[in-house]
Amino acid sequence: MLVFLGFATFPVLIALALVLRSFNESSVVPAIIFGVTFFLGVALIVLVFYAARIMPNSINALIKGTQILGAGHLDEKINIKSGDEFEDLATAFNEMAEKLKNSVYKLTAERNKMQVVLSGIRDGVIAVDLEHKVILFNKAAEDLTGYKQEEVLGKNITHILRVFDKNSEITVSEYCPIRYDEFEGILFQKNALRILVKEKLLFANFSSGKISEGANVNLGCLLTLHDVSVEQQLEAMKLDFVSMAAHELRTPLTSVRGYADILKSQIWDRLNQEEKEYFYRLQTSADNLGNLIDNLLSAAKIERGAFKVERKPLDLVGHIRSIVDNFQEHARTKQQTLKFIEPQDLIPLVQADGFRIGQVVSNLLSNAINYTYPAGSIEVSVHIIKSEIARSMVSVSVKDTGQGIPKSALPHLFTKFFRVSGSLEAGSKGTGLGLFICKSIVNLHEGEIWVESIEGKGSTFTFTVPVATQADIEGYHNKKMLNGFVRPDSHAIIRRA
Amino acid sequence: MKKILIVEDEIFISEMYAKVFADNGWGVDTALDGETAITKATTTHFDMILLDIMLPKVTGIDVLKKLREILSASKESPVYMITNLGQEDIMNEAFKLGAVGYIVKSQLTPKDIVQEINSFFEKQARKDAVS
């Protein structure tokens, strides 16, 4: 603009020089005054002329440019080459637009990335707002439910799916509680839930989470569903197979046991000692096979959650004493001493399933006999653990002077299919189900089972069962009046009471 | 002589039980499937029926249902289910339909079963004597 002014001043200076020469002869001062006034006047005219012609062009260009940028066309440039402040302003606008364009690009890329990630996730991801309305529904959620994102957006999640655990429905306020606080993390998490969608039942591991800014961006919670329907089916098939196989195995076993028994009663008196020993082995092997099958069935039931105990008031001392008696013969064959230590204290009735607790004690005893060297000793004792705050418990310990258990094996001892490897291998047998079943039985009694062991010195297995309360005892007597019956696999025979 | 009907599709097991019951003074008849069992029990009165659950064509539970429904010579006969299945729901159903006992075959010898049946009748006799 100053350059323009400079050019505009040039003719004015010539005019001023002419005027000054004409005024030289008369008076100099009025001539100067006149000259300056004339100059300023001309300058003003030029300036107004310039402002009226040039400035509106720049302003218009700026207004138009900002409107284009405002409409989102960030690639457009404001083109002002006025060489003045308008051009500077335009340049600043253009730089700002460029930065804005980069930010928008980054955000879009981020959003696209998020969408690729969400659609790539094989778990269903559903986001709901603070009113439980769906605001995001990824591809896996579509595949899982059969709904399309556009069908469900804006709809309440409860109209799309319902969530059930084994026993009852889980409400939306349970699995997706709306929280306005700063909490961030997992709100709800449960495996193998039943999800009812469009009258179809799915099994899914279900979890929901919240981010702390959730309330600011209207995000109630984010649900993820991991489809485990196939796994559930496989698991059910496996359990069915185990049950079926066990049943099929029991059929020939019935014949083996039955005919061995018939044959024995017919020819026993005519057998010599060696032949009698063969018979004994035949029957022991059939018994072992029977126990294996029963253990497999029990383990399958435990996994299915169908394994039950029928607890009633029980004289534990008498029960255990008789089980120990049954094992005397077995211990004698290994030249071991097996002793039941009579308790010093009075042991009250416990609330327990006699058959199942018998299984636990038998299992511990047969382990003790198997893992103890000849001439070793095994002691079974019963103690009362009195408690003022909680329910009193009775503990049963089976202590042996056997080979003990390596420290590294102790934490895994009660897990399914675990067997101590290494030095014990030679003398060990079984499927690794025994202690797993023991633990399950004890846990169903709300008791605990544990082991203390020193390698080379021996092991002590202890479990606890709760004392029967007065209510338990009265409840049992009342129940006995209503004809009940005992479960099938707890005893070989179940009679109608 | 008391008469027993053994309903069992496994021929080895069926013959094994038949022999031991006969040896213990029972009159024995057998059926290898559910249909035959219904026919025999309808026409003949049995003092006891041993009924397998897993049977071809008609299951043991259905045989039991049928026996209780129709007019049959063994309508009131005590029935022991004999099975190698340990399914509680099936057992409950059998008891609901009036079975008096449930026996897991593989865990017992035939002699044990004869003993169980004999003791059932002894108990029954004691009950009858009291009333």
Chain A nearest C-alpha distance from B108 (Å): 7
Helix (H, G, I), strand (E, B) or coil at A461: strand
Q: How far is B14 from chain A (nearest CA, A)?
A: 10
Q: Are A258 and B91 a contacting pair at CB < 8 A?
A: no
pLDDT digits (tens, 9 = 90+) for A324-345: 998 998 899 889 999 999 999 8
End-to-end Cα distance, chain A: 115
| Mean of pLDDT over chain A | 83
User: A494 and B13: CB-CB below 8 Å?
Assistant: no
Provide the pLDDT for residue A26: 54
Q: Is the pLDDT of residue A387 over 80?
A: yes
Which residues from B are below 8 Å from A290, CB to CB? 106-107
Give the whole-number percent of chain B exceeding pLDDT 90.
57
* Least confident piece of the model among A19-23, A309-313, A347-351, B93-97: A19-23
Q: What is residue A479's predicted lDDT score, i.e. its pLDDT?
A: 61
Examine the pLDDT at A32 and tell me if it is beyond 90: no
A255·B12 Cβ contact <8 A: yes
d(CA A497, CA A486): 9
Strands B3-7, B27-31: pairing is parallel
Nearest in space to A196 (alpha carbons), one of A232, A169, A177: A169
Per-residue model confidence (pLDDT) at position A3? 45
Residues of chain B found within 8 Å of residue A247, distances taken between Cβ atoms: 54, 84-85
pLDDT over 80 at B14, yes or no = yes
Chain B within 8 Å of A250 (Cβ-Cβ)? yes
Out of A257-261, A358-362, A484-488, B108-112, least confident range:
A484-488
> What mean pLDDT comes out for the span B65-69?
89
Average pLDDT over residues A365-372: 89
pLDDT of A429 reads: 63
Give the pLDDT confidence of B90-113 residue by residue, as tens digits: 888 888 898 998 888 888 889 999
What is the distance between the alpha carbons of residues A339 and A61, in angstroms, rounded to a whole number?
107
In Å, what is the CA distance from A228 to each residue of A123, A205, A299, A388, A401?
Answer: 10, 7, 22, 45, 47
Given a contact cutoff of 8 angstroms between Cβ atoms, the answer to whether A147 and A137 are in contact is yes
* pTM (2 d.p.): 0.62
Rounded CA gap, A357 and B21, in Å? 34
The overall average pLDDT reported for chain B is 90
Q: Is A78 exposed, middle or buried (0-12, 13-18, 19+ CB in 10 A)?
A: buried
Phi-psi region of A466 (alpha: psi -120 to 50; beta: other; left: phi over 0): beta
Q: A223: pLDDT confidence band, cut at 50, 70 and 90?
A: very high
Q: Is the pLDDT of residue A462 over 80?
A: yes
CB pair distance less than 8 Å for A251 and B84: yes
The Cα B54–Cα B7 span in angstroms is: 10
Q: Is the pLDDT of residue A244 over 90?
A: no
* Length, in residues, of chain A: 497
Percentage of residues of chain A with pLDDT beyond 90: 32
| Distance from the A239 Cα atom to the nearest Cα atom in chain B, whole angstroms | 13
DSSP assignment of B46-107 equals: -SEEEEESS-SSS-HHHHHHHHHHS--TTTT--EEEEES---HHHHHHHHHTT--EEEEGGG
Q: What is the pLDDT of residue A440?
A: 93
Q: How far apart are CA A325 and CA A173, in angstroms?
A: 57
| Contacting residues of A for B110, CB less than 8 Å apart | 258, 261-262
**Do A432 and A360 contact (CB within 8 A), yes or no?**
no
Q: Reduced to 3 states, what is the DSSP secondary structure of residue A258?
A: helix
The answer to whether A495 contacts B100, with C-beta atoms less than 8 Å apart, is: yes
Cα(A367)–Cα(A375) distance, rounded to whole angstroms? Answer: 16
B42 and A CB contact within 8 Å: no
Q: What is the pLDDT of residue A28?
A: 65
pLDDT at A310: 84
In the structure encoding, which two tokens stand for residue B49, read together?
């029926």
Q: Give the residue from chain B lying closest to A487, CA to CA.
A: B88
Choose the weakest-confidence range: A13-22, A202-211, A312-321, B101-110: A13-22
Q: Is the pLDDT of residue B54 over 80?
A: yes
pLDDT at residue A122 tops 70: yes
Q: Return the DSSP state at A203.
A: E
Whether residue A484 is predicted with pLDDT greater than 60 in this model: the reply is no
Q: What is the pLDDT of residue A426?
A: 46
Task: Tell me if B105 and A494 make a contact (CB, 8 A cut-off).
Answer: no
* Cβ of residue A484 closer than 8 Å to a chain B Cβ: no
Question: What's the pLDDT at A2?
Answer: 45
DSSP state of A429: -
Q: Band of the pLDDT at A260, cuts 50, 70, 90?
A: very high
B127 touches chain A (CB under 8 A): no
B96 touching A (Cβ < 8 Å): no
Measured in angstroms, the CA of A487 and the nearest CA of chain B are apart by 7
pLDDT at A271: 93
Mean pLDDT in residue range A181-190: 87
H or E stretch including A201? strand A200-210
Q: Residue B23 has what pLDDT?
A: 95
| Nearest residue in chain B measured CA to CA from A253 | B106
- A485 interface with B at CB cutoff 8 Å: yes
Band of residue B8 on the pLDDT scale cut at 50, 70, 90: very high
Task: Give the Cα separation of A133 and A156 in Å (integer).
Answer: 4
* Residue, of A291 and B62, whose pLDDT is higher: B62
Residues 291-350 of A with CB under 8 A from B: 293-294, 297, 306, 308
Lowest average pLDDT, out of A10-24, A272-286, A399-413, B23-37, goes to A10-24
